[in-house]
Amino acid sequence: MNTSLTNEKRFALRKKQPTPKQNLKRRKLSQKIAFGFFWLMGLIAIAVLFWIVGYVLAKGASSINLEFLTTRPAGGFDGEGGISTTIVTTIYLVLFTIVIAAPLGVGAGIYFVEYANEAQNHNKFVRWLIKTARTGVEILAGVPSIIFGLFGFAVFVSYMKLGFSLLSAGLSGACMVLPVIIRTTEEALLAVPDSYRQASLGLGATKWQTVTGVILPTALPGIVTGIVLSVGRIISETAVFWVTLGGSYRLPQNLMSSGRTLALHVYMLATETRAFDKALGTSAILIIIIILLNLAINITSRRFQKRLSGK
Amino acid sequence: MVITSLEEKKPNKSKIIARNFDLFYGDFQALKDINVTMPQNSITAIIGPSGCGKSTFLRSINRMNELIPSVKTSGEILMDGEDIYTQDVVELRKTVGMVFQRPNPFPKSIFDNVAYGPRAHGLKNKNILEELVEKSLTDAALWDEVKDDLHKSGLALSGGQQQRLCIARALAVEPQVILMDEPASALDPIATLKIEELIQNLKKEYTIVIVTHNMQQAARASDYTMVFNMYPDRSGYIVEYGETSQIFTNPREKTTEDYISGRFG
Amino acid sequence: MPRETLDTKLSQIKDEIYLLGSMVEQSVLDSVDTLRTRDMKEAKRVYDEDNIINEKRYALENAIIILLATQQPFARDLRLLSAMLLVVNELERMADYAKGIAKINFKIGDSNIAIPVRDFQKMAEQGVSMLHRGLSAFIEQNPNQAAAIPQEDTIVDDLYNKIYRATIEQAIANPEIIDQANNILWIAHNLERFADRVTNICERTIFITTGELMEMGSSDDENGIEFE
Ligand SMILES: Nc1ncnc2c1ncn2[C@@H]1O[C@H](COP(=O)(O)OP(=O)(O)O)[C@@H](O)[C@H]1O
Ligand SMILES: [Mg+2]
């Protein structure tokens, strides 16, 4: 407290202060204004979202029927045919990409969180390597997907002569989702309380037993969430696969076959044909799939919370 | 004529001996020249102002400190005459169990929590496991409360029950020493007393070392008391070590006197 | 000081113990004085006022127990409080000796036995002086002062022996007064035990400061019957 103030001055200053009652009124008012503002913003965001989704679903619904789903695209300026092969190709690509990216990403995440600290006091080179890898993951997570596409085109398609193929696309897609999987894995592992590790090690379990016995089971829903997010990324990606998967609408016969995913199909229908209604129909299917995926994520993470709280 | 106490004293074999033990976190010396002998089948309480290295010392006894990369130690800690720092660390932690400040059951069933340690040590036989789980829960005074809910998550128990579950989990690996770091500080008074009673029963089979910031608890629950303090450079040392009855009625050191009678600092 | 509550309460209790001590001193001096004046009204007052001392002792005991329960003292504080419990008990018993003397005064009534008033006064004064200093040593926790007091007990013992012998001789010479002689002996006994109890207070003073319980002086007739 400022002791140089005379008592009169202090008294005068205090008189200028609002009374507690006025003050409470003011505070309540500013609270109301802020609350109203955020409420409005939220409302607008949701309205826009519903508008887009609603528009696509409503316009696309007319072209969706069993035939649309079960016949292959026939090409042409009018975008003949359905989308059956693109659904299958999407599934192939998702499976292939995840089979490559998940073990790598989860493994890297486990290493970064559970083991990298230990290596730190061993070797200068190892330490440098870990630091570089960490930075690399950070950077890759922010890179636009077309860069992955160009990289895949340059390395897999051209240099390694894999051509436009499921293999090239899967490898490129894996590069794209790897940072996502690593980071969500890291986050899931970091969310596992340290006390679990200490308890397990304190019982005489080895590090590896601790990782497999306690940490991974606890973090699994989080890790799965990351993988499901990656699936979403692959399903909705166009740029990368445009330059690595080619665009054949035939059913892929093997890993070296070219193909066309749902998202690519939407892009091609919209840019190269007049079948805008079919593009919307395919989009509607895509949106439904994405919504289902998000539901799946919600359910797993809710399970995760339940498990942690023991209900 | 000096009249001594009525309590009988039975000499116990010494279980844990620290000799000239120092511990550093990087450049910071957290423990300075610790010398102490803890008898078998006794309860030793560690008290002292916070930050003076009680937990650090406790965690030195099962080498949990090694999880922190910057930790360096010198001097020795012997268990049954053997230097623990030359033993295999996994073996050591099987012999020296630990219970933490906050109850930390795994997000697994009660059964799996208790069976976790034995399973990690290779026990697979279901019948033996079941027997061991029952015995451990019984010893931890929890069996009657949970015997019908062994499949329930350990996290669904109350705080006091969770802590007893953690004690059962530690008992299940059949250790010889149990370290407890403020095991009751997160519990209500009744749960606290339950844990204290439990500890009294456990000392028949185990040697127990317990850190507590609760002076009454140390006085109630321990046979020996170790008083820690820190030097001006914040490194911890043992002010006084002796029988709890002596420390709390007639401490030798002024620092102990001030600390336990609440006139510290 | 983080233990201001405890310290404040402790010093209040110390003041009260001082007060109790001076009440005890006064009552023993008064009771012996009634032997001189043979004022039965005054003797009745001394006899009745013992109740006030008893009540004060219970109030103090209660306060100490509350402090033990609520403040959970350790080490020196614990020793001090437990010693205080004993000391208030000693003081109350000492007052009972004064009450006993007043009662004997009634029993003597108007019989014409010679009461060795001068020696009784000396015993009482010596006992009170020991109590006064013993109690300050206790409250001030001064072990040196406390250690010096018990040896003064011999002065009281010598007076007791002197009175004892003289009274026995009188009774042998004149067996009719044997009942009255017995009364005189009881008074001497009470005053002798009064001084003995100061020793106990001094022992507690040593205990508080060193933590050691030791027996000081010789209280050979610890089992003597007390006349209350
Ligand atoms: N992981 C650590 N790294 C560095 N310093 C630490 C670490 N853990 C504890 N310390 C320091 O060691 C000292 C003792 O800590 P601790 O053993 O936790 O004290 P206590 O259990 O007695 O409160 C404190 O000064 C603390 O800051
Ligand atoms: Mg601690």
Q: How many domains does chain C have?
A: 1
| DSSP-based three-state secondary structure for A241 | helix
Which residues line the pocket of ligand 1, CB cutoff 6 A?
A: B 25, 28, 30, 48, 50-56, 68, 234
**Mind listing the pLDDT tens digit for each residue in A124-151?**
888 888 889 989 998 998 899 999 999 9
The average confidence (pLDDT) of chain C is: 91
The average confidence (pLDDT) of chain A is: 89
Please list the alpha-helical segments (H only) found in chain C: 4-37, 40-71, 75-108, 117-139, 143-148, 153-173, 178-210
The reply to whether C228 falls in a domain is no
**Mind listing the pLDDT tens digit for each residue in B57-85?**
999 999 999 888 889 999 999 999 999 99
For residue C90, how many other CB atoms are within 10 A of its CB? 23
pLDDT number for residue C223: 41
The reply to whether B66 falls in a domain is yes
- Calculate how far, in angstroms, residue A280's C-alpha sits from the geometric centre of ligand 2: 63
- Calculate how far, in angstroms, residue B33's C-alpha sits from the geometric centre of ligand 1: 16
B262–C79 CB contact, under 8 Å: no
Radius of gyration (Cα) for chain A, nearest Å? 27
pLDDT number for residue A276: 86
pLDDT band per the 50, 70, 90 thresholds, residue B14: very high
pLDDT band per the 50, 70, 90 thresholds, residue A242: very high
pLDDT band per the 50, 70, 90 thresholds, residue B42: very high
Question: How far is it, in rounded angstroms, from Cα B158 to Cα C127?
Answer: 63
Strand partners of residue C228: none
- With beta carbons less than 8 A apart as the criterion, state whether B207 and B38 touch: yes
pTM for this predicted structure: 0.80
Q: In percent, how much of chain A has pLDDT > 70?
A: 96
**Mind listing the pLDDT tens digit for each residue in C117-167?**
999 999 999 999 999 999 999 999 999 999 999 999 999 999 999 999 999
Chain C nearest-CA residue for B248 = C75
CA distance B4 to chain C (A): 8
pLDDT band per the 50, 70, 90 thresholds, residue B1: very low
Range of the domain at C72: 3-223
Tell me the two tokens of residue C15: 């003041």
pLDDT band per the 50, 70, 90 thresholds, residue B44: very high
Residue A274 CA to chain centroid, in angstroms?
A: 32
Residue with CA nearest ligand 1 atom 21: B55
Of B215, B219, B262, the CB nearest to C2: B262
Question: How far is it, in rounded angstroms, from Cα B13 to Cα B37?
Answer: 10
pLDDT higher than 50, residue C225: no
- Calculate how far, in angstroms, residue B182's C-alpha sits from the geometric centre of ligand 2: 7
Which chains does A contact via 3+ CB–CB distances below 8 A? B
pLDDT number for residue A3: 58
- Calculate how far, in angstroms, residue B237's C-alpha sits from the geometric centre of ligand 2: 14
3-state secondary structure chain B: CEECCCCCCCCCCEEEEEEEEEEEECCEEEEEEEEEEEECCCEEEEECCCCCCHHHHHHHHCCHHHHCCCEEEEEEEEECCEEHHHCCHHHHHHHEEEECCCCCCCCCEHHHHHHHHHHHCCCCCHHHHHHHHHHHHHHCCCHHHHCCCCCCEHHHCCHHHHHHHHHHHHHCCCCCEEEEECCCCCCCHHHHHHHHHHHHHHCCCCEEEEECCCHHHHHHHCCEEEEEEECCCCCEEEEEEEEHHHHHHCCCCHHHHHHHCCCCC
Question: How far is it, in rounded angstroms, from Cα B161 to Cα A286?
Answer: 49
- For a mutational test of ligand 1's pocket, the pick from B23, B46, B55, B71, i.e. the residue with the most ligand atoms closer than 8 A to its C-beta, is B55
Tell me the two tokens of residue C133: 């200093």
The strand pair at A73-75 and A80-81 is best described as: antiparallel
pLDDT number for residue C27: 96
Average pLDDT score over residue span B170-184: 95
pLDDT number for residue B6: 57
The reply to whether C206 falls in a domain is yes
A218–B90 CB contact, under 8 Å: no
CA distance B264 to chain C (A): 8
Q: Which atom, in ligand 1's list, is nearest to the CA of B228?
A: 22
Residue C172 sits in a domain whose CATH number is 1.20.58.220
Q: Where are the domains of chain A?
A: 66-309
Tell me the two tokens of residue A229: 């997010």
- Calculate how far, in angstroms, residue B209's C-alpha sits from the geometric centre of ligand 2: 13
pLDDT number for residue C228: 44
Give this complex's ipTM.
0.90
Which chains does C contact via 3+ CB–CB distances below 8 A? B
**Mind listing the pLDDT tens digit for each residue in A37-61?**
999 999 999 999 999 999 999 998 8
Q: How many domains does chain B have?
A: 1
Contact residues, C window 156-215, toward B, CB-based 8 Å cutoff: 211-215
pLDDT band per the 50, 70, 90 thresholds, residue A18: confident
A182 contact partners, CB below 8 Å, separation of at least 6: A105, A108, A109, A112, A137
Q: Which residues of B touch A195 (CB under 8 A)?
A: 100, 102, 104
pLDDT higher than 60, residue B2: no
A199–B169 CB contact, under 8 Å: yes
| Superfamily name with CATH number, domain A66-309 | MetI-like (1.10.3720.10)
Closest ligand, as measured to the CA of B57:
1
Lowest mean pLDDT among A73-82, B39-48, B206-215: A73-82
Higher pLDDT residue, A204 or A300? A204
Chain A nearest-CA residue for B102 = A195
The reply to whether C48 falls in a domain is yes
Closest ligand, as measured to the CA of B46:
1
pLDDT number for residue C112: 74
Average pLDDT score over residue span B10-33: 92
pLDDT higher than 80, residue B36: yes
- With beta carbons less than 8 A apart as the criterion, state whether B179 and B191 touch: no
Range of the domain at B214: 14-105+174-260
pLDDT higher than 60, residue B7: no
Q: Which residues of C touch B3 (CB under 8 A)?
A: 212-215
Q: How far are the Cα atoms of A217, B241, C74, C75 from residue B256, in angstroms, in the given order?
A: 47, 10, 10, 9
- Calculate how far, in angstroms, residue B56's C-alpha sits from the geometric centre of ligand 2: 7
The one-letter amino acid code at A263 reads A
pLDDT number for residue C224: 43
Q: In percent, how much of chain C has pLDDT > 90?
A: 79
Question: Residue holding tokens 């350790």?
Answer: C74
Of C1, C73, C214, the CB nearest to B2: C214
DSSP letter string, A68-108: HHHS-EEETTTTEE-SHHHHHHHHHHHHHHHHHHHHHHHHH
Query: Does residue C218 sit at the B interface (CB-CB below 8 Å)?
Result: no
Question: How far is it, in rounded angstroms, from Cα A310 to Cα B107?
Answer: 7
pLDDT number for residue C226: 43
The reply to whether C135 falls in a domain is yes
- With beta carbons less than 8 A apart as the criterion, state whether A224 and A303 touch: no
Tell me the two tokens of residue B13: 């074999």
The one-letter amino acid code at C7 reads D
Residue B238 sits in a domain whose CATH number is 3.40.50.300
Chains A and B touching, counted as 3 or more CB pairs less than 8 Å apart: yes
Q: Which residues of B touch A116 (CB under 8 A)?
A: none
Radius of gyration (Cα) for chain C, nearest Å? 19
Secondary element (H or E) of residue A307: helix A276-309
B261–C73 CB contact, under 8 Å: yes
